[in-house]
Structure 1
Amino acid sequence: MTGTESRAPRHGTGDPLWPVYDRPSDLAAIESVPLEARGLPSSTYAAVARAARLRPDGPALTVLPSAEEWPRAVTVTFAELLAQVHRFANLLRAHGVARTTAVGLLSPNTALLPAALLAAQTAGIAAPVNPALSAEHAARLLASSGTRVLIAAGPELDAEAWRTAREVAHSLRLTALFALRPTACAGAAPELEPVDGVVVAHLDTAAAAHAPDRLVGVEPPAPGDLAACFHTGGTTGAPKLAAHTHANEITDAWMIAANRLLDEDSVLFAALPLFHVNALIVTVLGPLLRGQHVVWAGPSGYREPALYGVIWKIFEHHRVATLSAVPTVYSVLAQVPVDADLSALRFAVVGASALPPAVREAFEDHTGVELCEGYGLTEATCASARGFVGEDHRPGTVGQRLPYQRLKTVRVDADGAWHDLPPGEPGTLVIAGPTVFPGYVTGCGPYGPLLDSLGTVRDGWLDTGDLACVDPDGFVRLLGRAKDLIIRGGHNIDPAVVEDALLAHPGVTAASAVGRPDPHAGEVPVVYVTLSPDTAVPVAELLAFAAERVPERAAAPKDVMVWDGPLPVTDVGKPAKLPLRLDATRQAVVAELASCGVRLAPGERVGCELLDGRPLVRVPHPADRTLRLRVAAALDRYAFRWEFATEGRP
């Protein structure tokens, strides 16, 4: 029996797993059937097993070694993927991994990483960590999850990540450390340096002796079992790990896949790192549920400059139907000459940070491909709203709430009390439903990770920290963020780690990091500091000092501003970020005006205020029409709102 012959009923043909979901108006009919009647797989392992049963010979993953070597890609069928998961899960069990044991993953993308992550969820709990983190920071995260076994990039794949993995394995006294090799690598694996008291081996070599056709000593996970702990940004210096159950992940992946924008034969392109929850839910689990083929970029993903020289050729060759990326990527793609047939490319998915209207317009005009926005956060598993294309696109929104998720806005009083707001009224966005996480990992006990929502969930409703309005049809219009998280190119940055780096300088007495608007990255971190009396420290020195101490390159501040007087505080004495965010926005606009040749006249200034939760920037109206057009084009690249302050000038 071939993979094609063994498929389940096609999407929308009576199979309760796949209802008709073409338009926003389909939501009510979908939700008239209880979610538990949909027949979703019970776990991520069950999703792999189901795909292998229905499409054993169908291509599951095609992984590129690199942009230059993309024709040498490695393809894995669904049956082969299941065999890999069996071998790796059985290996983990042999090294003491149980249902509540965390397995760390510290690697850029490579051919065996998806199976390794799924095996970690099958045998225990996956704990993926950014391989670019410092060894100290990675160790803190992995210790918080209770990691006992680590799967990491080997020295051929990422020498720096391997050094980090060895330090972590030694400091945490792990049971085993398994190395991943590059995709399509040739020749014998190099010998690995030992780590005292730790089993060290290549993952594929160590797993070769284990059964590929079944789980041995491993009970398949239940829906309520923990599947993963994902690092999420926060507003304190302590690392925060958001726990997900198997039901969380499967349900959210199904919500994303349960639409007819794509069919079962569609090919997806993936290039986000697998330590990002979007990569797992959108480009691993969603396609697994539909039996779709995913083409994965090389280890550096969208960060590999050479990818942009061949990306359209890759899309043509594999008949790619969609991709998922952040606004920064689409800003670059809008400049890449289209030198291939993109007729298979139906739409492109964008999320993680605000999409400037000019980026949307430039990409769509350049490629003829529509962008489909989405919204989500790690504490709600991944996605909570998605847009539509064509006539159902709602400009200015990030899409409609996904099936079975409830979204509303509330007013939060000074005493912390919540008050529901009517549809369409701006307020703090809260979410309820089957994707809300069980809590942050606060420690490990005899029965596994200890969880606490830390006040973010009340009566089943998750406080997103985002300001928004939700219309009666469930479409979400984001207005800004109430929380302090900095999002750089879709990458979450905890402002506390930037502040802590500056506070270690002997001349700095206070520090407050905020996001400054950026036309390419959405936001970049900048820091406001106060200095000791009679102290003068060059900004260049402070920047270099911070760059050496932040845990990852993306968190290094782009600028440091010395604040005259105490940093702003709220009425109760807590640090106030809003005045600094507005000042950073104003400075970004002043710099943009200067690059356009606009010099402010005496008495002229850029105004910046908060209106309906979003910055509104008022720009002096240049007298010269050419300058006006240049300013308009420049500021349209940003996600904030702006207007000329003086109309009627010639």
Structure 2
Amino acid sequence: MAEKEKVWFRHYPESIPATLEYPDVPITYYLEKAAADFPDLEAIHFMGKRMTYRQLLEDVYRLAQSLRELGVQKGERVSIMLPNSPQSVISYYAVLLLGGIVVQTNPMYKERELEHQLKDSGAETVICLDQVYHQVAKVKTSTSVKQVIVTSIKDYLPFPKNWLYPLKVKKEGMDIDIPYGEGIHSFSQLLKKALSEPVPSQVDSLDEVALLQYTGGTTGLPKGAMLTHRNILVNVIQCNAWMYKGKRGQEKSLGIVPLFHVYGMTVMMNYSVYLAATMILMPRFDAEETLKLIQKERPTLFPGAPTIYVALINHPKISEYDLSSIHACLSGSAPLPLMVQEEFEKRIGGRLVEGYGLTESSPVTHANPIWDRRKNGSIGLPWPDTDCRIVDPSTGEEVAEGEMGVLQVRGPQVMKGYWNQEEETSKTIRDGWLHTGDIGTMDEEGYFYIMDRQKDMIIAGGFNIYPREVEEVLYDHPGVQEAAVVGVPDPYRGETVKAFVVLKPDHSLTEEELQVYCREKLANFKVPRLYEFRDELPKTTVGKVLRRVLAEEERKKVQSEEEELQAAGKEK
């Protein structure tokens, strides 16, 4: 599509240009700039602990020097397995400063998932929380991991929370007895021993890989999307252009979305640092604690996922809190229901708009204008320097406005490819176009709409879940003969995971037993919430299980129940 044909440019807000300038600097430059321009400005607020940009940069330098002394070299992969915390931010920038490659690892991963990611990435160093250390220890010998750096939530808690923390975890039965010694290092001790002297960036080219962000695929096997320094920097600058009312050194961003998720990494962490904003970090989401925090700390920016907004607007005490500081919210990770958007804006006052992106695009490619005209149900307009088209899935030819097809994206934020997966890369990126696999349309004004998601993928609470991975766990159970997993409508999570199971002859299982089994093998967000035992599953003539038939049955059930409720309401 030639530039003159990009109809969406005509509908951009006046303050947003169609193309931007991207300086030739690594992403770490913006942390150093924020510390130079606003050294005493609060960079992080974490459970009462306050940290300035000067202190943050000093700790980044200390960790970078420590990692270098431990042998971490340019291009080496380092797994960061941490919740939202100062340590997560420090580790991310320290690794990038050394020219290393960050491997974002979900701290909720179980042994099986963690082993695959560490093996695939070849990470030799893991930075993790004490609460998950023993998960790492279980897979250490079967991977390339040589050293583990362990930190604790208490390391960055204020007194007396840091003193009370060990008592709390002991009461909850957590195992945080770490065998420090050869190959096992204390995060806090490493920083105490290191000097806070500047560490020059080891990044020679912005086309060097900065991050391996793992995503699933049609096979369900996670692949590492190679995001370069340029990819990440571009998306941050695009974000800044879209959120053009943001004032450098004056904003506060509420950090609930996980930083180990590509959306949280860009829209929360990297954009906050670029803007020299205060990051108000929460290690886990709690609706009432979030309301209290908003009232007390007065954040202005609130990137999130629909489930977060749903929980807040449905909280019985929401009217008791002053939430008026919020002025901009960009919703990602899952479709945003119109009701949620309208109710959120009504109760809080700030603007909430839906965006769209993929791990492979760093991640954002589209968003509705925040302070200007938006279209309900739309993912909005493509971001500056981002080309998009809808093509016929059979011919690959671009379709007319309003016609349905497959969304393709091209732009400087699109990944370099998949780590050690040339064949998968060639299937996903062709002639520079990223094939999203999402079915959508574009209207006459250049607003895009997603009609259906990537085949079979489930989005529950903002997390992508691939049915085959869950099915393989179920198939490993000695009592399971067949299994199929689909997403079913859920008023809170958007979708939830349901497993249809056929048992082997003479075997019996309960839902509770399968639940316990799955929780041992899968991260909690992937564990099925619903189970249905059947004598057989619907299949094609060649024996392939028809997941879409099961999903359609569930949709009809929900629709029927809603119609019955409506009918009952009318009768009253």
Q: Normalised by the shorter chain, which TM-score bucket? A: 0.7 to 0.9
Residues 549 and 176 of structure 1: is their aligned pair in 2 closer, same or farther, counting only changes over 3 Å?
closer
Residue in 2 that maps onto 1:441: 419
1: CA distance, partners of 2:496 / 2:569: 31
TM-score, with length taken from structure 1 = 0.77
**Identity %, equivalent residues:** 25
Runs (5+) with no aligned partner, structure 2: 1-7, 167-175
Alignment of 1:372-521 (within 5 A): 372-389=353-370, 392-413=373-394, 417-442=395-420, 453=425, 455-521=427-493
Residues 374, 387 of structure 1: 8 Å contact kept:
yes
SS at match of 1:201: strand
Structure scoring higher RCO (CA < 8 A, sep ≥ 6) equals: 2
Match of 2:314 among 335, 339, 346: 335
Question: What's the CA shift for 1:295?
Answer: 1.3
The one-letter code matched in structure 1 to 2:319 is V
2: CA distance, partners of 1:502 / 1:455: 29
Q: Comparing both structures, which one devotes a greater share of its residues to helix?
A: 2
2: CA distance, partners of 1:373 / 1:230: 22
2: CA distance, partners of 1:47 / 1:370: 27
Residue in 1 that maps onto 2:217: 234
Question: What's the CA shift for 1:549?
Answer: 4.8
The one-letter code matched in structure 2 to 1:475 is Y
Match of 1:587 among 557, 561, 566: 557
Match of 2:240 among 219, 233, 257: 257
Residue in 1 that maps onto 2:567: 622
Residues 546, 557 of structure 1: 8 Å contact kept:
no
Alignment of 1:305-316 (within 5 A): 308-316=287-295
1: CA distance, partners of 2:43 / 2:369: 26
2:260 is the alignment partner of 1:284 = no
Residues 392, 405 of structure 2: 8 Å contact kept:
yes
Question: What's the CA shift for 1:366?
Answer: 2.6
Question: What's the CA shift for 1:545?
Answer: 6.1
Residues 390, 407 of structure 2: 8 Å contact kept:
yes
Residue in 2 that maps onto 1:213: 197
Residues 135, 164 of structure 1: 8 Å contact kept:
yes
Judge which range, 551-560 or 222-231, deviates more. Answer: 551-560
- Deviation track 1:529-550 (CA, whole Å, cap 9, x = no partner) reads 4445x55745526733652454
Residues 122, 221 of structure 1: 8 Å contact kept:
no
Question: What's the CA shift for 1:292?
Answer: 1.9
2:34 is the alignment partner of 1:51 = yes
Residues 357, 365 of structure 2: 8 Å contact kept:
yes
SS at match of 1:354: coil
The one-letter code matched in structure 2 to 1:583 is E
2: CA distance, partners of 1:383 / 1:267: 21
Residues 432, 462 of structure 1: 8 Å contact kept:
yes
- Deviation track 1:265-309 (CA, whole Å, cap 9, x = no partner) reads 121111122211111101111122222222112x22x1x3xxx33
2: CA distance, partners of 1:577 / 1:261: 45
1: CA distance, partners of 2:17 / 2:205: 25
Residues 62, 76 of structure 1: 8 Å contact kept:
no
The one-letter code matched in structure 2 to 1:271 is I
Match of 1:360 among 327, 330, 341: 341
Question: What's the CA shift for 1:192?
Answer: 6.2
- Deviation track 1:382-421 (CA, whole Å, cap 9, x = no partner) reads 11111124551211212211111111111112xxx42211
- Deviation track 1:117-165 (CA, whole Å, cap 9, x = no partner) reads 11122220011211111123212201211101111112xxxx2x12113
Question: What's the CA shift for 1:239?
Answer: 2.6
Residue in 2 that maps onto 1:114: 89
2: CA distance, partners of 1:542 / 1:457: 42
2:329 is the alignment partner of 1:348 = yes
1: CA distance, partners of 2:218 / 2:501: 17
Residues 438, 452 of structure 1: 8 Å contact kept:
no
2:522 is the alignment partner of 1:551 = yes
Question: What's the CA shift for 1:579?
Answer: 2.0
Residue in 1 that maps onto 2:103: 127
Question: What's the CA shift for 1:176?
Answer: 1.9
2:133 is the alignment partner of 1:153 = no
2:342 is the alignment partner of 1:369 = no
Residue in 2 that maps onto 1:540: 511
Match of 2:260 among 272, 275, 279: 275
Q: How many residue pairs end up in the alignment?
A: 546
The one-letter code matched in structure 1 to 2:547 is K
1: CA distance, partners of 2:310 / 2:509: 34
State the superposition RMSD in angstroms: 2.9
- Deviation track 1:198-222 (CA, whole Å, cap 9, x = no partner) reads 4222113113333423216x62352
Question: What's the CA shift for 1:377?
Answer: 1.1
- Deviation track 1:299-353 (CA, whole Å, cap 9, x = no partner) reads 22x1x3xxx3343342233321121111111111112323333332213221211
2: CA distance, partners of 1:28 / 1:360: 24
- Deviation track 1:159-192 (CA, whole Å, cap 9, x = no partner) reads 2x12113323344353321112223155799996
Residues 424 and 430 of structure 1: is their aligned pair in 2 closer, same or farther, counting only changes over 3 Å?
same
SS at match of 2:300: strand
The one-letter code matched in structure 2 to 1:275 is F
Residues 90, 210 of structure 1: 8 Å contact kept:
yes
Alignment of 1:187-202 (within 5 A): 193-194=178-179, 198-202=182-186
Residues 531 and 323 of structure 1: is their aligned pair in 2 closer, same or farther, counting only changes over 3 Å?
same
2: CA distance, partners of 1:147 / 1:266: 35
Alignment of 1:157-168 (within 5 A): 159=131, 161-168=132-139
1: CA distance, partners of 2:487 / 2:214: 20
Residue in 1 that maps onto 2:4: none
Match of 1:25 among 12, 17, 21: 12
2: CA distance, partners of 1:339 / 1:114: 33
1: CA distance, partners of 2:387 / 2:237: 16
Residues 480 and 27 of structure 1: is their aligned pair in 2 closer, same or farther, counting only changes over 3 Å?
farther
The one-letter code matched in structure 1 to 2:314 is Q
Residue in 1 that maps onto 2:297: 318
The one-letter code matched in structure 1 to 2:381 is Q
Residues 390 and 238 of structure 1: is their aligned pair in 2 closer, same or farther, counting only changes over 3 Å?
closer
Question: What's the CA shift for 1:56?
Answer: 2.5
TM-score, with length taken from structure 2 = 0.87
Question: What's the CA shift for 1:488?
Answer: 0.6
SS at match of 2:95: helix
Residues 382 and 572 of structure 1: is their aligned pair in 2 closer, same or farther, counting only changes over 3 Å?
farther
1: CA distance, partners of 2:498 / 2:390: 30
Residues 389 and 576 of structure 1: is their aligned pair in 2 closer, same or farther, counting only changes over 3 Å?
same
Residues 309 and 560 of structure 1: is their aligned pair in 2 closer, same or farther, counting only changes over 3 Å?
closer
Residues 42, 50 of structure 2: 8 Å contact kept:
no
